[in-house]
A and B are shown apart, each in its own frame.
Chain A
């Protein structure tokens, strides 16, 4: 038996660690190198952790994520220039999904923009792209007036409490009324005795939940981690690793940088144009962000030639990252960007790029799995959508 995930033994720089590293190791988490970070891939087991988030609550250490703050009277103009979504529509305390693009309309990174105040925005960025993103932001902001950029990535321990029991769990640790925080809004409140903690109703699991940003010193981080696990014990909370985080986001068809989005994939191909304020009759003039001209040109030329689609395996087999997508005759037409068994849906699913003519719902294609063609069909995404709250 030999795992396909083994990597080459090139000498690599030492792995970076979050403030909870010792805590993860003490709790016997299985650790992996994730984009240069020593992170837990699973604790009790990927499927159990995935199901805990879908049916109860799970806790993730996502401190490897980066945080860039834009401050000063020029901050909105800078955010508008750097990010494709329209940050002028945000109220204080509101967040939005967005992305920073190259001049070609491809992805530097996807980000969540938080409006802290009129002159103050926080961009939460991916771990593997932190240095690149910060350098890109500084370069683009350049000599723009009245704007100051700070990289606060190492200042926060970011914890994600996710699942239908996330609110009940966190409510035991804060006097903030969580029920009034809407999806993609945030506030500041006291959590575990810590004042002025940012509490955001955001996440990357397709489930209801919160992300909190606490000081990144080790004693505080491990104390809060432990208090959340204790508070959630009555609901069956599980500490979760990046393995479950990946299958949860895949069931919800959320993009992962380096897979569904990259600097060789444009916004239309990735089906993310709804987050780009290109301008239009109902939409106002749009904003002049980096990459907009290229996107307008792609649109004028008839749109993208390939598209991201959801696939569900029809025959027995699991399509995985990088596997070729073929016609039934075996001609290679595309590639899977993320593929895995879906623990909640109990199906084998994948996201893949295919030419537009194969992107229609119910089209049957073949995934090449170790030399064999295994049939799959194009299905609607997200694969999983959480049930609407009944109350």
Chain B
């Protein structure tokens, strides 16, 4: 699956799509594929603060738990509540299945994240092919 070039990526396999100070966060296709069948997503509440590089929640497949790391700092403005009942949507389409929306406190932080091209290279290095 292709990684949208308009997104930015973390080395912990989250993506962020941002316009100005508004951002949307999810996990990458590589992440969903590594996890396998996702059955549970634990997300923060609207209004909660987020800090770049810090844990904001977790995602669980049948066989593993993974922490979710915030790509940037800011505060949560919306949560994808549908994931409570339909966590498997992340497996179906990780690129468009968002987890939360936020207001960025410092949009310049986006520049520290990986581009799609850099992320693809990073994954290739991590998986050894």
Report if A and B associate in a common complex: yes
| Interfacial residues, chain A to chain B (CB-CB below 8 A) | 1-5, 30, 41-42, 45-47, 243, 246-247, 317-318, 320, 340-341, 343, 370
Task: Pull 17 A–B residue pairs with CB atoms less than 8 Å apart, ordered by A.
Answer: A1-B12, A1-B27, A1-B66, A1-B68, A2-B66, A2-B67, A3-B66, A5-B64, A30-B36, A41-B63, A45-B36, A247-B62, A318-B40, A318-B60, A318-B65, A340-B63, A370-B58
Q: Are B69 and A2 in contact (CB under 8 A)?
A: yes
Q: Which residues of chain A are near B51, meaning CB under 8 Å?
A: none
Do the beta carbons of B63 and A1 come within 8 Å of each other?
no
**A319 nearest CB across to chain B (Å):** 11
Contacts of B62 in A (CB 8 A): 46-47, 243, 247, 340-341, 343
- Considering the complex, give the chain A residue whose CB is closest to the CB of B33: A30
Interface of A is mostly: mixed
Other A-B pairs, 20, CB within 8 Å; known A3-B65, A46-B62: A1-B27, A1-B31, A1-B69, A2-B66, A3-B34, A3-B64, A3-B66, A4-B65, A5-B64, A30-B36, A45-B36, A45-B37, A47-B62, A317-B40, A318-B40, A318-B60, A340-B63, A341-B39, A343-B62, A370-B58
- For the complex of A and B, list the 6 residue pairs with the smallest distance between their C-beta atoms, beginning with the closest: A1-B13, A47-B37, A1-B66, A341-B39, A5-B64, A46-B62
Bound form: Cα–Cα A235–B64 in Å: 30
Closest-CB distance, B15 to chain A (whole angstroms): 10
- Chain A residues with Cβ under 8 A from B39's Cβ? 318, 341
- Shortest beta-carbon distance from A339 to chain B in Å: 11
Q: How far is the CB of A335 from chain B (nearest CB, A)?
A: 16
CA distance A340 to B66 in the complex (A): 14
Binary interface encoding of chain B residues 47-82 relative to chain A, with 1 for a CB under 8 A from any of its CBs, else 0: 000000000001111111111110000000000000
Instruction: Let me know if B35 is at the binding interface, CB within 8 A.
Output: yes
How many angstroms from the CA of A321 to the CA of B58 in the assembled complex?
17
Shortest distance from the beta carbon of B11 to any chain A beta carbon, whole Å: 9
Q: How far is the CB of B100 from chain A (nearest CB, A)?
A: 14
Q: Would you give the shortest CB distance from A30 to chain B, in whole angstroms?
A: 7
Q: Cβ of A46 and Cβ of B36 under 8 Å apart?
A: yes
Nearest B residue (CB) for A370: B58
Q: Which of A1, A246, A318 has the most chain B CB atoms closer than 10 A to its own CB?
A: A1
Chain A: minimal CB distance from B43 (Å)? 12
Q: In the complex, what residue of chain B is closest to A41 when comparing beta carbons?
A: B63
Please determine whether A4 and B37 come into contact, CB atoms closer than 8 angstroms. Answer: no
Chain A residues with CB under 8 Å of B66's CB are: 1-4
Give the residues in chain A near B40, CB-CB below 8 Å. 317-318, 341
Please give the distance in Å from B85's CB to the nearest CB on chain A: 12
**A46 and B68 within 8 A (CB):** no
Q: How many angstroms between the C-alpha atoms of A341 and B36 in the bound complex?
A: 13
Complex Cα distance A240/B123, Å?
Answer: 26
Q: If A1-B69, A30-B36 touch, does A46 touch B63 (CB 8 Å cutoff)?
A: yes
Give the docked Cα–Cα distance between A47 and B36 (Å): 9
Q: Shortest CB–CB separation between residue A383 and chain B, in angstroms?
A: 15
Let me know if B65 and A320 touch, CB within 8 A: yes
Inside 8 A of A243's CB, which chain B residues have their CB?
A: 36, 62-63
